[in-house]
Amino acid sequence: MRTMFRLTAIAALMLSFGVIAAHAQKTAAYKITDVIILPFDEQTGQFQSEITKNSDRSFFNDLAISMLVKVEVSGTAGSFEVGRKLEIIVMEGKKVKKKRFDQIGLIGDAGKYYVPIWLDGAMCSEITISAKIFVGAKAGAAVIRKVPFQCGE
């Protein structure tokens, strides 16, 4: 009788580990693969060209510039897991300009999901955009981008 109970307990334990392992395989780790920065000119109503990672573009007394920032998250197409969240913190100099902490939605057919954040002008100090995935991300998932802004005479 005891042997039968032990065998049943061991079988149940092995089955539960199998279910956990299968679930882990379905929802692979997510990764931040890009931060897309698009300046918006409030005087013309037009988006300007993207500020790329290697760009040396800066803004001086450009008080009518706002920015659309899109954080690109990559994962397995069609995957979703409750609790996988993305935090975006935008600093203007040493002051927090904007924060967003949201659930990452269903990864699209192309293996991407985009989280936008809008930064209102006028900006007069360097902008630092920091994005990090919480839960289910590979180590080193934080990404930081900077855009120089200055104001003066």
- Residue 23 domain flag: no
**Residue ranges, the chain, pLDDT below 50:** 13, 17-24
- Residue 17 domain flag: no
- Residue 142 domain flag: yes
Q: How many domains does the chain have?
A: 1
Domain that holds residue 101: 28-150
At residue 141, the pLDDT reads 59
At residue 29, the pLDDT reads 86
75: buried, middle or exposed (CB in 10 Å: 19+, 13-18, 0-12)?
buried
At residue 150, the pLDDT reads 95
Instruction: State the CATH number of the domain containing residue 143.
Output: 2.70.50.30
- Residue 59 domain flag: yes
At residue 21, the pLDDT reads 44
